[in-house]
Amino acid sequence: MRVIDSHTAGEPTRVVVDGGPDLGSGTLAERAARLEAEHLDFCTSVVLEPRGHDAIIGALLLPPSRDDCVASVIYFNNLQNLGMCGHASIGLGVTLAYMGRIEPGRHRLETPVGVVEINLRDENTVSVTNVESYRHLKDVTVDVRGYGSFTGDVAWGGNWFFLVKDSPIDLTSANIRPLTDLTLKIREALEENGITGAGSAWIDHIELFGPPRSASANSRNFVLCPGGAYDRSPCGTGCSAKLACLAEDGLLEPGREWLQESVIGSTYRASYHLGENGAVVPTITGEAFVTSDATLIFNPADPYRLGIRSEG
């Protein structure tokens, strides 16, 4: 199986170029559902140890089904598919350029949640115009066992987020463990209280905000991803959800740039315009770098060829 690895603002992406499972016919959303339901072993084998780790996001590269798209892609982690992934879309853009598949300029990608546009600005810089993003619930308060009450917004940016404005823990890399513990507990509390996204969707990302370290940035964040790892980047879909909340609160006008800083200090530039349905259409710009072009080997005698999964 050929894979090309990259990182976007520190967050890794593994693009599966060939050797993935046969997902049959149907829409990309239908094939993505089939990947999650029938081929989770493939997903874990690609992203988990011993070949990877919890933070890696997989991207299964497929031929486009639309004439206006350069590729189709299904993003996945060690638990499930992701509807959309901002950092992986930036990484995929740089990877497609590395492969000689695209040149600088605007290109369209088909994802299970809709078509997104990538603008390859140079060999390492990509702007992603995301799907329409919106706030679903405002100022939701939840009691978190051992921590107290937290108030946040539920918003969609291609994935579902619970966004907490003021983190009680300093957002530094030295606090990754306590920040992870806190956000896991917040997610558990949301589940216990039946707080969901639209259509009873699981809120699988938790995002904490605080003041930036850089004088040029607007905010710093910490993002818990579905599998329990933290996002090294500022999180593209999380920034999209944040823009939706800022726009609805009248705190950021269309076209104005927001510089979001991650917990490790990497940054994305984000802005939005209003979509046809009144929701915000975010554009996220970041840098990615290819780190390896490799062949994964799956020896039938290897007891961990499908990845090392936690028990329970």
Distance spanning both ends of the chain, measured CA to CA: 29
Same-domain check for residues 103 and 163: no
Same-domain check for residues 112 and 195: no
Burial of 8: CB neighbours in 10 Å, binned 0-12, 13-18, 19+: buried
Do residues 87 and 94 touch, judged by C-beta distance below 8 A? no
Distance CA 169, CA 211 (A): 11
Same-domain check for residues 248 and 177: yes
- Domain carrying residue 26: 2-131+291-295
pLDDT in tens, 197-243: 999 999 999 999 999 999 999 999 999 999 899 999 999 999 999 99
Residue 26, in any domain of the structure: yes
* Residue 250: partners with Cβ closer than 8 Å, 6 or more residues away: none
pLDDT in tens, 51-72: 999 899 999 999 998 999 999 9
Residue 309, in any domain of the structure: no
Same-domain check for residues 47 and 101: yes
Residue 283, in any domain of the structure: no
Same-domain check for residues 186 and 250: yes
Which CATH number does the domain housing residue 117 bear? 3.10.310.10
Residue 302, in any domain of the structure: no
| Helix, strand or coil, per DSSP, at residue 252 | coil
Same-domain check for residues 194 and 251: yes
Same-domain check for residues 29 and 146: no
pTM: 0.94
pLDDT in tens, 203-212: 999 999 999 9
| Domain total of the chain | 2
Same-domain check for residues 60 and 77: yes
Choosing from 43, 225, 235, 245, the catalytic residue is: 235
Handedness of CA 273, 277, 278, 279 (dihedral sign): negative
Residue 305, in any domain of the structure: no
Q: Identify whether 85 is a catalytic site residue.
A: yes
Same-domain check for residues 210 and 142: yes
The pLDDT score that the predictor gives to residue 113 is 85
Same-domain check for residues 150 and 219: yes
Same-domain check for residues 256 and 163: yes
pLDDT in tens, 88-141: 999 999 999 999 999 999 999 999 988 999 999 999 999 999 999 999 999 999
Same-domain check for residues 143 and 252: yes
Kindly give the residue spans of alpha helices, DSSP state H, lying in 110-235: 176-192
Average pLDDT, the chain: 95
- Is residue 311 pLDDT above 80, yes or no? no
Q: Among residues of the chain, what percentage have pLDDT more than 70? A: 99
CA of 129: how far to CAs of 16, 118, 139, 252, 299, in Å? 23, 6, 27, 17, 40
The pLDDT score that the predictor gives to residue 88 is 96
Choosing from 43, 69, 85, 225, the catalytic residue is: 85
